[in-house]
Amino acid sequence: MCGIAGIVLRENAEQLPVKIRLLTDSIAHRGPDGEGIHVRDNVAIGHRRLSIIDLEGGAQPMLDASGRYCLTFNGEIYNYKTLRQQLEGKGFVFKTASDTEVVLKAYMYWGRECVKRFRGMFAFGIADFERRQIFLARDPLGIKPLVYLKQPSFTAFASEIRGLRLLAGNALDIDPQAVDEYLLCDFIAAPRTVYRGMRKLEPGHYCEISFDGSVSDSTAYWQFEFRPDYTVSREEWLEALETTLQESVRAHLVSDVPFGAFLSGGIDSTAVVSYMANELSDPVRTFSIGFDDSSYDESQYSNYVADRWQTEHQLFVMKSDAMSVLPQLVERYGEPIAGPSAIPTYYMCQAAASKVKMVLSGDGADEAFGGYWRYFQWLEWIHLQDHRQLARQHGVEGEFLKNSANEQRLPSFDKWICHHTTFGAPERAQLWGSKWPAVDCSHNLRMREFFNLAEAYTAGHRVQFADVNTYLQKILTKMDMMSMIHGLEVRTPIVDIRVYELAARIPEEYNFHRDRDGRFTGKTLLKELLLKYFPQDFVYRKKQGFKVPLESWLFKDVANKNVVEERLLSNASALSGHFDQQALRAMLPTLRDKQVWSLLFLEEWVRGQGVTPAVQFDQSRLSAPRDA
């Protein structure tokens, strides 16, 4: 895993070495094993390396023999050996054993179409000094980040937001609609960032930066789509899922350095560790986080799985440390992303990095196979949709819809977004108060766009589709940023193009079902596979998720409670320049722990900007008030 960067200067090209060094220094934590820059004409390409494959031969930026192409690459290509053989058959000669060289020569031969051949996680830039442009691409599901910024004097890209912000200085305006989207659901979906002019390249997309600094529209080369196949039996789906997961785990184990796995004891990480244990001759190294609060601690389950597979297990027990780690989280994210699970993830990555350089995780199964509580709540609410479909088949849909109760059960984005909302529209309006108009982000909200695109899907697939294309970015960004702080590579064998393409073909009823108490549950096929190794009471226990005792950390700890009030309500609060402090003071006693953490994260982030409210928010660009 690595950090990548590049810059095109429109003038003063002699400043390129200094500016590219600023970018690479800002991502030094992503690549502690090596660094490099290449400067030519008005372009500079930079790289920081964390060595995982071909430790000696994969140095970057990598140039072809002619010097026409220059690559900076972050990620792993799991089918690189197959692609190498194909390219050797086309006459290419390789000097290294790295996947980096395969990416470079694949682009030289296939051009833009090369991205359709890669299986893996990646973000990269390739400068073509003959065509005078830089090709940027990001993996299909967005495991690896890529951000770019266009300014009057330069255009630049990097793995993280922080370096681009430093490069721009105070020239960036914060996008208040993006801030409102953050308040709504705790993250800002691609392509938007919190800054105007700075964009995340969307998963499964590529774009090009001309040497004159212009940026092309991004182009989608892959899109996740549900296409359920009802001709395949349940038993055949089980066999296909097991085969695909086994093969994906095997592909993700290719490494020239010591590796392990995160093990929470949940279904997803348990499945990954189980397939690793079946694949490897040596014991798997596993890492878990526990809590001193027994109501949140699930270490008994991770210990149980570790004992079952005789792994080399390390358990780290967390105590209240939310406030002390907050500044590091904010700095690395570069924009507000408030999920509190980042706290234990940070410490779990720290613990793993002391022993290995790469781990596998179970991220992505909830989106692919239907594991979130919000899906079950949504299906409970929408269950009369099944009756509507029957009514349609019998030609009596109109009679069915005359019943107002039935009408309310039809899929509605406004109903679905309630399951994601941190601050509802009335609360956000109170926070903005008279200082700034309420921001209209509803028509631009990416989750709404994907929800509407999935109108033809079943109710469950519709919300999974919206999450895969938006919320999954939050999960993957969290893991990328928290692991890269500690120079640790995290691989996600479930967030794999072949696994997700299989998931897209599985009918909804094979993932969601009602349990014996009549309540919806999910990941049915995945759970059934685990019954080969674990008893029913372990596999079918109540889902808890990666929750943290945030309420205890923030409110029961007197010192932390005082810090919370000081940061949010004092005259020194950074948010005082943007939010109605009187309204916030009235709201604070009634806010949930998640809401308070969201505000604390935003406060810390605004505090770190070091610019005045007038510079940050351009009020003239705000839209008219409207509820999201």
Query: For residue range 128-147, what is the model confidence (pLDDT) as tens digits?
Result: 999 999 999 999 999 999 99
Where do we find the tokens 């109108």?
Answer: 455
154 DSSP β-pair partners: 9
What is the C-alpha to C-alpha distance for residues 245 and 568, in angstroms, rounded to an integer? 46
Task: Give all domains of the chain, ordered by start, each with its CATH number.
Answer: 2-220 (3.60.20.10), 234-369+469-539 (3.40.50.620)
pLDDT of residue 266: 92
**Between 439 and 364, where is the model more confident?**
364
349 is catalytic: no
Task: Give 29's DSSP letter.
Answer: G
Q: What is the mean pLDDT of residues 514-525?
A: 88
Of the CA atoms within 13 Å of residue 452, those in its CB half-sphere come to 9
Is there a contact between 325 and 346 (Cβ–Cβ < 8 Å)? yes
Average pLDDT over residues 80-107: 96
Reply yes or no on whether the pLDDT at 45 is more than 50: yes
Name the catalytic one among 2, 185, 207, 441: 2
CA distance 275 to 271: 6
Task: Label residue 242 by pLDDT band (50, 70, 90).
Answer: very high
| Average pLDDT score over residue span 552-578 | 82
Q: What is the pLDDT of residue 169?
A: 85
Whether the predicted pLDDT of 397 surpasses 70: no
Per-residue pLDDT tens over the stretch 417-470: 988 899 988 888 888 876 665 566 555 588 999 999 999 999 999 999 999 999
Residue 597 backbone dihedrals phi, psi, to 5 degrees? -65, -40
Q: What band does 414 get if pLDDT is binned at 50, 70 and 90? A: confident
The confidence score (pLDDT) of residue 559 equals 74
pLDDT of 626 over the 50 cut: no
Q: What is the pLDDT of residues 2-17, one digit of tens each?
A: 899 999 999 888 899 9
- 31 in Cβ contact with 50 (< 8 Å): yes
Residues 391-414, mean pLDDT to the nearest whole number: 57
Kindly state the percentage of the chain with pLDDT values over 70: 88
Peptide bond into 191 cis (omega under 30): yes
Q: Cα separation of 599 and 185, whole Å?
A: 12
Give the CA-trace dihedral at 304, 309, 313, 316, to 10 degrees: -30
User: What is the CB-side half-sphere exposure of residue 447 using CA atoms within 13 A?
Assistant: 29
Whole-model pTM: value is 0.90
pLDDT band at 405 (very low <50, low <70, confident <90, very high): very low
User: Poorest-confidence range of 353-362, 398-407, 515-524?
Assistant: 398-407
Strands 43-49 and 34-40: antiparallel
Give the number of other Cβ atoms within 10 Å of residue 515's Cβ: 11
Is the pLDDT at 389 greater than 70? The verdict is no
Task: For 413, list phi and psi in degrees, rounded to 5.
Answer: -65, -40
